[in-house]
Structure 1
Amino acid sequence: MLSHLVSLALLAASPTIAGPAPVYFAGETAGVGDPNPYYENGVYSVFYLKNEGRHPWWVTQSADLSAWSRPLEVVPVGQPDAPDDWTGSGSVIADPAGGYRLYYTGHDPEGRPKEVVMGARAPSLAGPWRKTPETTFAGPPDYDPSDFRDPFVLWNAEAKAYWMLLATRHESKAAIGLYTSPDLARWTAAPPLYAEASPLNLEVPDLFPEGGDWFLLYSDQRQARQVRYLTATHGAGGYAYGPYDALDGRGFYAGKSAGTGESRLLFGWVAHKSQRQDAMDFVWGGDLVAHAVRRTGPGTLAVSLPGDIARQFDTERATLSPTALEIGAADRALRVRADLRVKPGQRLGVAFNETASGRASTIVLDTAKGEAAFLYDGDPAHAPRVAFPPDADGRYTFDLVVDPRLGLGVIYINDFRALSFRYYRVGETTLSLFADGGFAALTGSVKVRGEAR
């Protein structure tokens, strides 16, 4: 209960934002790096790498994804040439002996080893956090000393031990390494939990049990740069990719979850673009966005719009039908929810038309390929894409949120997959629906937030 009171006290320190509030967290002008969320007593504490300098750890908290606490630094970077010259991703866990433990990556570009696991402890989530250099350790000889990062710690009731997962390499393969501990202090190396042939890595791993299955998530460092998942019936494996294993497109990265059951959220960043220009490619770091993530059947995960985000939109602006396809201007945050039917194999989506330039961008759902993409100015070069299962009868539901303050959006397809996209000038566009052969059926609404927001 004490930690809950500390959380609420921290929430009370929320800064005031001038003008209409953004939909998502906006406490960092440069955006955030990897989020490392922790859930307790209804409050999400999102520890994250600050997207400045050498990436120190900061934290913000929210109970409703609307009001966020003022960010606080919790783990500063070390001195030059220290093992944590740069700090990298990790995790936070409650210590049964009292207080909390934070595990993070120490990265020294000139070090040998280059990456190590480091720690910090605190009596409460709000701190103060004290580094524990005596707990630092490097990987065993068969784990790559240059890729040994992102320690994710959980209690595995099935194994009756604490587990630590790491992004590493093993026998020239990309691996999710494994350590075990009886007490969060003594760690023993084990064979990798999972490995596959890849020249790049399986970053920021996450693992949780749900409904008789175990789900292993990672962010793919390869060209696709998607958050993907594998599943098994036991924590120890063997893990195999689930159906439609990418949860979002390449605009959303470093996804880590917190919560249980209906309260589980997947936090990641919607990437910024080079020079903050819509026509450029994505860069590291972005704005913090959360998806609801849930098990929908054996070995299957789905993502959808979190209820706390949906509840922000309480004022209906327009209704949609086969003869009323105009969504209207995106000069303020909006949500579009629609149930529709088209001829199977048809293309449909949302058109964004810039009022001044006439430039047209689109979200395209290709029901023949089972793929959604966001095409800025019609250009497929840097387009985020995600696969979804085509419906034999051509029936689809989508849920679109546009945040013009931050210049981004997310569309959820059948409450199953998400497509996050960056569009800095979205607030200068007018939106409408389209379908190549028209809509056989369409019901939907456009909602905005009340003036209080």
Structure 2
Amino acid sequence: MKGNYNIFYTPEKQYPGMPHGEMCGDFMPFYWQGTYYLFYLYKYCVYAVETTDFVSFGQPFLVLRNGSPDDQDWHIGTGSVFAHDGLFLFHYTGFCEGNQDADGKNEQVVMRATSRDLKHWEKDTDFYFRPDTRYYGNLHWRDPHVIWNEELGKFCMLITATQKEGACLRTGCTAVYVSADVRNWEHYKTLYAPRTFITHECHDCFRMGDKWYLTFSNYSRWWETRYRVADSFDGPWEVPEQDDMFDGREFYAAKSVTDGNKRYMVGWESIREDCRDSGRHLWGGNLLVHELVPRKDGRLGVRLPETIRQSFGKVLPIETVPMQGSFREDTEGITGDVPDGFGWAALGSLEETCLFRTTISWKEGTEAVGLMIHADAALEKWCQLRLEVRHGKILMDRYNRVDGDQSYQDERPVTFHENKAEITLVVSGNIMLVYVDDVALTSRCYEIGTGTVGIFAEYGSVRCTQTQLLEQETAEKPMGKN
């Protein structure tokens, strides 16, 4: 159950007590000529891995090595890659914690490297962008994200910054600088400053259809990636109605990438301390990719990338085994009636990595329906995807949240339509990724082995149709160019 090398990429197996530097995070995706180059932070340096489908990955390679404790890039932080005039440019953050409060020095500085082939990079020692204290504070100055802005006809660099004055831990803002040649940058404006968060990390900004979207992550409450919507780049930027996140509270530092047709959010799923369910969330984890789905009202949903879905082609057997309550099977599906409480039926055995999908519906007045995941017959151990239909939300629950373990549940608000939802569940190792229509919720369960997948209902009736349990066609591959 440790480590996920297929789909949920990580450069090495997870293990209890793994230190911060051994985890990977802050993926910086870049698409070029049919290949996604996923740059990421690892061991205080920048590495990259290639993929064409988010299913199989090449060997990771070193992109930028960190400097000495006296160098500005003693630790290297997040940035972005783009192409201009036959050259690839990587703007990144140079961290030197020893510089904080030192005269004439800065803890965080925007730096740059260049490449001709995306493999071999050279640091540009002439580029050194200090915090612009005319407009912003002197500490947070990182995560440069460069885009070509057709609306302005200029390159834009978004920077994680803070306002010079404001309430404690509420000065986070998005600074924008513009350039005509990507060499000389001038201040444009403070794009977004809601006086809500410590910082807005790992920005992205892009246009889909007739809307602009600004994405950022923050650690004020949880690990979380949020977004805002506007009709133009200059705003005003509005909070989407009902929900402004792409996944739950463990999906962080997501940036987008497009192949010119589809756009994906590429982030990481946080691990827990010592790989325990009761452990606190830590920085870094496994790659997690969602395909963006624009909604008619301008909000964004997500779905499983088609290439990942297509990798599951081996059909596994499904057999309805009622465990509690009244469940029956017919030629079109499975129906369960449990008017007096909880009931469930087992449907099949989960493999280490597999996909389960079904269309689930319920009668009006039903309290909750959903999936039992990694369950055993006695329900001594289990995970549960709950569609709390009367409360308009989905959540992931697990068996051992009693007495001394009262950690929170992972949940998302959902608008249910016509008492029906399409569910896709991907399990791989300790990761459980689920889509309910176009709403994602990813979680982990460390202290449990593989088990059964099933359906349940509470105080009502449930029906499942078009149900499939699938495994990938080939066994888990070792890391390497496949």
Q: Alpha-carbon deviations, 1:63-110, whole Å to 9, x = none?
A: 0122211001101112112211111111000022x2200010111112
- 1:174 aligned partner: 172
- 1:163 aligned partner: 156
- 2:92 aligned partner: 104
From 318, 342, 367, give the equivalent of 1:346.
367
Q: Is the 8 A contact 1:281 1:382 kept in 2?
A: no
Please give the alpha-carbon distance, in whole angstroms, between the structure 2 residues aligned to 1:421 and 1:102: 32
Q: Is the 8 A contact 1:261 1:294 kept in 2?
A: no
- 2:38 aligned partner: 46
Q: Alpha-carbon deviations, 1:231-253, whole Å to 9, x = none?
A: 11111211111232111101211
Partner SS, residue 218 of structure 1: strand
Q: Alpha-carbon deviations, 1:379-401, whole Å to 9, x = none?
A: 3623322222233x211111110
Q: Is the 8 A contact 2:358 2:464 kept in 1?
A: no
User: For residue 182 of structure 2, what is the amino acid of its counterpart?
Assistant: L
Is 1:337 paired with 2:377? Answer: no
User: For residue 412 of structure 2, what is the amino acid of its counterpart?
Assistant: V
Cα drift, residue 330 of structure 1: 2.5
Is 1:134 paired with 2:126? Answer: yes
From 425, 428, 439, give the equivalent of 2:450.
428
Cα drift, residue 293 of structure 1: 1.1
Q: Is the 8 A contact 1:330 1:427 kept in 2?
A: no
Identical columns (%): 26
Please give the alpha-carbon distance, in whole angstroms, between the structure 1 residues aligned to 2:271 and 2:81: 26
User: For residue 113 of structure 2, what is the amino acid of its counterpart?
Assistant: A
Please give the alpha-carbon distance, in whole angstroms, between the structure 2 residues aligned to 1:70 and 1:353: 32
Cα drift, residue 378 of structure 1: 5.2
Please give the alpha-carbon distance, in whole angstroms, between the structure 2 residues aligned to 1:87 and 1:23: 26
- 1:247 aligned partner: 246
Provide the TM-score with structure 2 as the length reference: 0.83
Q: Is the 8 A contact 2:172 2:197 kept in 1?
A: yes
- 1:234 aligned partner: 232
Q: Is the 8 A contact 1:332 1:448 kept in 2?
A: no
- 1:63 aligned partner: 52
Q: Is the 8 A contact 1:374 1:385 kept in 2?
A: yes
From 334, 340, 345, give the equivalent of 1:322.
334
Cα drift, residue 306 of structure 1: 0.4
User: For residue 282 of structure 2, what is the amino acid of its counterpart?
Assistant: V
Question: Kindly tell me: are residues 130 and 304 of structure 1, through their superposed partners in 2, closer, same or farther at Cα, counting changes over 3 Å?
Answer: same
- 2:424 aligned partner: 399
Please give the alpha-carbon distance, in whole angstroms, between the structure 1 residues aligned to 2:362 and 2:375: 27
Question: Kindly tell me: are residues 224 and 348 of structure 1, through their superposed partners in 2, closer, same or farther at Cα, counting changes over 3 Å?
Answer: farther
Which deviates more, 351-360 or 187-196? 351-360
Cα drift, residue 113 of structure 1: 2.1
Partner SS, residue 415 of structure 2: coil
Q: Is the 8 A contact 2:335 2:461 kept in 1?
A: no
Please give the alpha-carbon distance, in whole angstroms, between the structure 2 residues aligned to 1:298 and 1:230: 13
Cα drift, residue 273 of structure 1: 0.5
Partner SS, residue 190 of structure 1: strand
Cα drift, residue 318 of structure 1: 3.6
Please give the alpha-carbon distance, in whole angstroms, between the structure 2 residues aligned to 1:239 and 1:376: 37
Question: Kindly tell me: are residues 222 and 369 of structure 1, through their superposed partners in 2, closer, same or farther at Cα, counting changes over 3 Å?
Answer: farther
User: For residue 107 of structure 1, what is the amino acid of its counterpart?
Assistant: F
The 5-angstrom pairing of residues 269-288 of structure 1 reads: 269-288=268-287
Cα drift, residue 440 of structure 1: 4.2
Provide the TM-score with structure 1 as the length reference: 0.88
Q: Is the 8 A contact 2:394 2:414 kept in 1?
A: yes
Q: Is the 8 A contact 1:161 1:182 kept in 2?
A: yes
Q: Alpha-carbon deviations, 1:35-61, whole Å to 9, x = none?
A: 0000122211000001x3xx2100001
Question: Kindly tell me: are residues 20 and 90 of structure 1, through their superposed partners in 2, closer, same or farther at Cα, counting changes over 3 Å?
Answer: closer
Partner SS, residue 68 of structure 1: coil
Please give the alpha-carbon distance, in whole angstroms, between the structure 2 residues aligned to 1:390 and 1:317: 29
Partner SS, residue 98 of structure 2: coil
The 5-angstrom pairing of residues 171-320 of structure 1 reads: 171-172=165-166, 173-243=171-241, 244-260=243-259, 262-319=261-318
User: For residue 60 of structure 1, what is the amino acid of its counterpart?
Assistant: V
Q: Is the 8 A contact 1:149 1:168 kept in 2?
A: yes
User: For residue 330 of structure 1, what is the amino acid of its counterpart?
Assistant: L
Q: Is the 8 A contact 2:350 2:374 kept in 1?
A: no
Please give the alpha-carbon distance, in whole angstroms, between the structure 2 residues aligned to 1:31 and 1:429: 28
- 2:465 aligned partner: 442
Q: Is the 8 A contact 2:49 2:59 kept in 1?
A: yes
- 1:24 aligned partner: 8
Which deviates more, 196-205 or 246-255? 196-205
Q: Is the 8 A contact 1:322 1:438 kept in 2?
A: no
User: For residue 91 of structure 1, what is the amino acid of its counterpart?
Assistant: S
Q: Alpha-carbon deviations, 1:373-425, whole Å to 9, x = none?
A: 2223253623322222233x211111110002xx21210111x2210112234
Please give the alpha-carbon distance, in whole angstroms, between the structure 1 residues aligned to 2:96 and 2:217: 22
Aligned-residue RMSD, C-alpha = 2.2
Please give the alpha-carbon distance, in whole angstroms, between the structure 2 residues aligned to 1:240 and 1:60: 35
Cα drift, residue 366 of structure 1: 1.4
Question: Kindly tell me: are residues 33 and 46 of structure 1, through their superposed partners in 2, closer, same or farther at Cα, counting changes over 3 Å?
Answer: same
Q: Is the 8 A contact 2:11 2:24 kept in 1?
A: no
Please give the alpha-carbon distance, in whole angstroms, between the structure 1 residues aligned to 2:354 and 2:23: 21
- 1:364 aligned partner: 386
Question: Kindly tell me: are residues 109 and 20 of structure 1, through their superposed partners in 2, closer, same or farther at Cα, counting changes over 3 Å?
Answer: closer
Cα drift, residue 214 of structure 1: 0.6
User: For residue 359 of structure 1, what is the amino acid of its counterpart?
Assistant: K
User: For residue 150 of structure 2, what is the amino acid of its counterpart?
Assistant: A
Please give the alpha-carbon distance, in whole angstroms, between the structure 2 residues aligned to 1:370 and 1:76: 47
> Which residues of structure 2 form unaligned runs of 5+?
14-21, 100-104, 321-332, 337-344, 477-482
